[in-house]
Structure 1
Amino acid sequence: MTNDEFILRRRTVVAGAGAVAAAAALTACSTYGKGDSAAAPAPKPATAAAPGPNTAAGQPHPNALAKTADVPIGGGVISGDTVVTQPSAGSFVGLSSVCTHAGCKVADVSGGTINCACHGSKFGLDGSVVNGPATQPLAAKSVRVEGDSVMPG
């Protein structure tokens, strides 16, 4: 093989690798907007209940997502892969912390919205889209209140 043939083959391999990387990047974003016509069902709020049999008074349950007192009324907290909000006093909602636009984890709950820092999507405390580019609501996650703890449902 001549030096020119070697350079040509090397350029082909390098160009091919670049094309594969570009195709992978496009594929990662290709799910945006798919299934936009199907709205996710609204999450069912959990309401405060009496302490459960395994919860000592004043002690959070070991599997709790959050203490009810730590979830502000009109706000929420992020606990792992779950966002727990309290749209009105005593009503708790569980939502996925994964933004429906590009799969980023939402960054915070402030100003009455759940905010994704990746592309600026904002969701209401019920998971509905307030500001895009996301077009689908956050997925509902079942939660329940046990004593002073919000538990996975």
Structure 2
Amino acid sequence: MNTESPVSRRTALCGIVVALAVPSGFVTACSSSSGSAPTQGSNPTGSTGKPGTALVALADVPEGGGALVDGPGGKKIVVARISAAEVKAYDATCTHQGSTVAEPSGGTITCPSHGSQFGAADGAVKKGPATTGLRAVAVRIDGDQVVLA
């Protein structure tokens, strides 16, 4: 009789990936983080979005709220308008289980699937179950548009 517990496919695959990962940054990227928000300069879309690419008209991003828009490569980006002259943007994929977050409201970005909440000003976790913040996407205001920085 076999008394060993079977190894799940996911566990085995993760072990293989970690074992074969040559760049140490890859292993770090797969590990959990301290929950701090990433720097504004990161581009989580993994696409070839070029600086200056328009994402949304500034008029369509209400102050204190925001908008959910299509970014380069079809990835969803959530744009938050912090003040009249300041916007922030994040990958709209919830870090808990990958659902798309909702538009910001009252300075908070909420995931409709499990209720995780993130600060619109910094992407940091305000309420779990998510344990890491949203990944920042570098943006800026250019005239009447919010564009990739």
Give the one of 97, 102, 113 matched to 1:118.
113
How much identity, in percent, do the aligned residues show? 44
- Report if the CA contact (8 A) 2:64-2:83 is conserved: yes
What is aligned with 1:70? Answer: 60
What is aligned with 1:139? Answer: 135
Tell me by how many angstroms 1:108 deviates.
2.7
Distance 2:134 2:141 in 1: 21
What is aligned with 2:36? Answer: 39
SS of match in other structure, 2:54: coil
What is aligned with 2:93? Answer: 98
Tell me by how many angstroms 1:107 deviates.
2.5
The 1:130–1:40 alpha-carbon spacing in structure 2 relative to 1, beyond 3 Å, is closer
- Runs of 4+ residues over 6 Å off in structure 1: none
CA RMSD of aligned residues (A): 2.9
Match of 2:104, as an amino acid? V
- Provide the aligned length of Structure 1 versus Structure 2: 112
- Report if the CA contact (8 A) 1:71-1:85 is conserved: yes
Match of 2:84, as an amino acid? A
Distance 1:144 1:23 in 2: 43
What is aligned with 2:20? Answer: none
The 1:129–1:38 alpha-carbon spacing in structure 2 relative to 1, beyond 3 Å, is closer
**Is 2:97 aligned against 1:107?**
no
Q: Deviations over 1:58-102 (max 9, x none)?
A: xxx9x5211111111111111122111111220111111010111
Tell me by how many angstroms 1:124 deviates.
0.9
Distance 2:101 2:9 in 1: 26
What is aligned with 1:48? Answer: none
Structure 2 unmatched ranges of 5 or more: 1-5, 14-30, 42-51, 71-75
TM-score if structure 2 supplies the norm length? 0.63
TM-score if structure 1 supplies the norm length? 0.62
- Report if the CA contact (8 A) 1:86-1:93 is conserved: yes
Q: Based on CA coordinates, which of the two structures has the bigger radius of gyration?
A: 1
